[in-house]
Amino acid sequence: MQSALGIVDIIVLLLAVSSSIFIGLKVAGKEESLENYLLGGRDLPWWAILGSIVATETSTATVLSVPGHGFGKTGFLFLQLALGFILGRLIVVFFLLPQYFDGKLISAYEILGIRFGTTTKRIASVLFLVTRNLGDGLRLFLAAMVLEKLVGWPLAWSAIAIGGVTILYTFLGGMRSVVWNDCIQFLIYMAGSVAAVFVIIDQLPGGWSGFLDYAHTSGKWKLVDPQFSISDPFTLWAGLLGGAVLSMGSHGTDQMMVQRYLSARSQSDAAKAILWSGVIVFLQFSLFLFIGMLLGCFYQSNLLPEGTRPDQVFAHFIIHSFPPNTGLVGLMLAAILAAVMSTLSSSLSASASSVVSDLWLSNVTTTPSQHSQVTVTRIATVFFGILQIGIGIWASTFAQSVVDNALTIAGFSTGILLGWFFLALLTQQRSQLAAILGGTVGLAVLLFLQFGLPWWKITIAFPWLPVFGTLATLLSGIVFNQLIPCDAPSTASTPVDHSTKQSESSDTCTSPSPEP
């Protein structure tokens, strides 16, 4: 396949990729302790963490699929979900964030170890590791497909190139490299998106006035759909409730986000980053939807290949309608790669921190040296990077429906983990066995909703899945708490300090104890 990139595009792309490696080299050598390597010494400015949060939750799928909603029938109704994201962040700031700043934590799941016991913490960590690396391996596959089309490389080499650069700068600089690269990558993909707006407008047959006529007649400016529907994801109720629960799970219990909060200078700095990220994401979604509407107007007069899905329209325009060899195609490819690399680097760092904190340090009798801890963390970073590349290449053998279902399953952890956190915070008697059984029920409910109900021609919209998963885990956990005797003495209450061995409960059941 011939490359769609000219020499100017290649130069722009190489400059963007080189900046990531340069930042990794620049901050390398400052990771003399595990806390410095994984949390940036807990001294990163709130605005950098803000940029990192937004870039991390913006993947290639976001950059390409959200314009697809603007192109399709959804339009600006998609923003109802973004309103739910803001609501969920508010709840995270007031109820979950304080838990992470009481004690010197490295992993979100250490709280579950303190409240329920080591086994629950390890299960939560493994659940995170499996779903996170499965999902991000598939996201790498989607980005590699774009690189394959634009550059002409085989998909396997495209996945290796994206994953290799991400592994390199994450390995070198740890969390500092991840956060500062996220900020640069945020600017790159936003610059590419703004450039796309002007390129599309310049090619509209009727210009700006033609677009306004299209927007008025299409009805895509509509912001609110007040009806209640369990199958429609873009109603006010699904957006507010489903979006809020989804955001509470992704931003309140996911190690990938919690690791950023713990890198802040204070709880108030972390809170500012979380709250402002909701506003920025809302504005970012508005821009992507606007691009989709512009594409809808453009393709009224220009034919799309038969079978092109809405989430493929933006990529089609970039390949076939962007002016060649002006740097704009290179900028857009850099923007797409920036979106996926920011997510992947965060995933690698969070996976490594979860393995080291939750699965390794809690099992050793003597605390290893800081050098050994950093070395093991770096090895884990490379391992998960190679694993995600392997998943990305393997996904090329799947049908698109398999990829979509696998991404859905990867999101199941949100409801289960959030249910566990609520169970830990809202119940007095905390049984580890009850928590595990509750999580099992939550998983069974999610699998039934996703794959069982369609047999009866019933569809559950994706924003409702984390709601049902959280409720099933929490309510069944409460019931099991009442059924399982709790007569073991409490040994879990002390905050975790990684300068010494962690203090956690290994009891099957713990009675009321002080907050961690």
The answer to whether the beta carbons of residues 261 and 97 sit under 8 Å apart is yes
What distance lies between CA 271 and its chain's CA centroid?
Answer: 18
Residue 175 lies in a domain: yes
Q: 364-372 — which CB contacts under 8 Å span 24+ positions?
A: 364/501, 365/501, 367/499, 367/500, 367/501, 370/32, 370/33, 370/34, 371/32
How many folded domains does the chain comprise? Answer: 1
Q: Which residues of 455-471 are buried (b: 16+ CB within 10 A; e: fewer)?
A: eeeeebebbbbbbbbbb
Residue 477 lies in a domain: no
Residue 317 lies in a domain: yes
**Residue ranges of the alpha helices (H) in 267-367?**
267-298, 313-321, 328-354
Residue 32 lies in a domain: yes
Range of lowest pLDDT (195-209, 272-286, 406-420): 406-420
pLDDT-based confidence at residue 492 (cuts at 50, 70, 90): very low
pLDDT of residue 407: 61
Residue 375, pLDDT above cutoff 50: yes
Residue 493, pLDDT above cutoff 50: no
pLDDT of residue 291: 95
Query: Both tokens of residue 198?
Result: 């002007």
Residue 337, pLDDT above cutoff 70: yes
Q: Which residues of 2-31 are buried (b: 16+ CB within 10 A; e: fewer)?
A: eebbbebbbebbeebbebbbebbeebeeeb
How confident is the model over 129-186, as pLDDT tens digits?
Answer: 998 898 889 889 888 888 887 777 899 999 999 999 999 989 888 888 899 988 988 9
pLDDT-based confidence at residue 487 (cuts at 50, 70, 90): very low
pLDDT-based confidence at residue 278 (cuts at 50, 70, 90): very high
pLDDT of residue 352: 93
Q: Which residues of 36-46 are buried (b: 16+ CB within 10 A; e: fewer)?
A: bbbbbbeebeb
Integer-rounded Cα Rg, in Å, for the chain is: 23
Residue 476, pLDDT above cutoff 50: yes
Segment 430-443 mean pLDDT: 91
Share of the chain above pLDDT 90, in %: 39
Which residue from 130, 175, 179 is spatially nearest to 384, judged by alpha carbons? 130
How confident is the model over 30-66, as pLDDT tens digits?
Answer: 656 888 888 888 889 999 999 999 998 887 778 888 9
pLDDT of residue 363: 79
Residue 278 lies in a domain: yes
Residue 238, pLDDT above cutoff 50: yes
Alpha-carbon distances, residue 442 vs 415, 417, 505 (angstroms):
8, 10, 24
* Cα gap 339→147, rounded to integer Å: 13
pLDDT of residue 197: 94
Segment 357-370 mean pLDDT: 84
Q: Can you give the residue range of the structural domain that contains 118?
A: 7-395
* Cα gap 400→279, rounded to integer Å: 32
The CATH number of the domain where 335 resides is what? 1.20.1730.10
pLDDT-based confidence at residue 28 (cuts at 50, 70, 90): low
What burial class does residue 516 get, using C-beta atoms within 10 Å of its C-beta: 0-12 exposed, 13-18 middle, 19+ buried? buried
Q: Which residues of 274-312 are buried (b: 16+ CB within 10 A; e: fewer)?
A: bebbbebbeebbbbbbbbbbbbbbbbeeeebeeeeebbb
Query: Both tokens of residue 173?
Result: 């600089």
* Cα gap 321→306, rounded to integer Å: 17
pLDDT of residue 159: 93
DSSP 8-state assignment for residue 108: T
How confident is the model over 290-319, as pLDDT tens digits?
Answer: 999 999 999 988 888 888 888 889 988 988
Residue 489, pLDDT above cutoff 50: no
Please give the mean pLDDT across all residues of the chain: 85
Residue 95 lies in a domain: yes
pLDDT of residue 479: 93
pLDDT-based confidence at residue 501 (cuts at 50, 70, 90): very low
- How many residues would you count in the chain? 516
Residue 414, pLDDT above cutoff 60: yes
Alpha-carbon distances, residue 307 vs 143, 300, 310 (angstroms):
20, 16, 10
Share of the chain above pLDDT 70, in %: 90
Residue 44 lies in a domain: yes
Residue 3, pLDDT above cutoff 60: no
The answer to whether the beta carbons of residues 298 and 204 sit under 8 Å apart is yes
* Cα gap 271→98, rounded to integer Å: 10
Query: Both tokens of residue 300?
Result: 């009224």
Residue 500 lies in a domain: no
How confident is the model over 84-108, as pLDDT tens digits?
Answer: 999 999 999 998 999 888 876 777 7
